[in-house]
Amino acid sequence: TNWFTFNEPGVRALEGHGRGEHPPEGKNIAEASLVIRNILQTHHKAYAAMRAVRPDLHIGISHQWLRFLPCGGNPIEKITAF
Q: Is 81 helix (H, G, I), strand (E, B) or coil?
A: helix
* pTM (whole model) above 0.75: no
| Tens-place pLDDT, residues 4-35 | 999 988 888 888 888 888 888 888 989 999 99
Mean pLDDT for the chain? 87
Residue spans of alpha helices (H) in the chain? 9-10, 29-53, 75-81
Instruction: Give the CA-trace dihedral at 49, 38, 11, 8, to 10 degrees.
Output: -10
Q: Cα–chain-centroid distance for residue 52?
A: 25
Which pLDDT score is estimated for 53? Answer: 97
Angular region, 70: left φ>0, alpha ψ -120 to 50, beta rest: beta
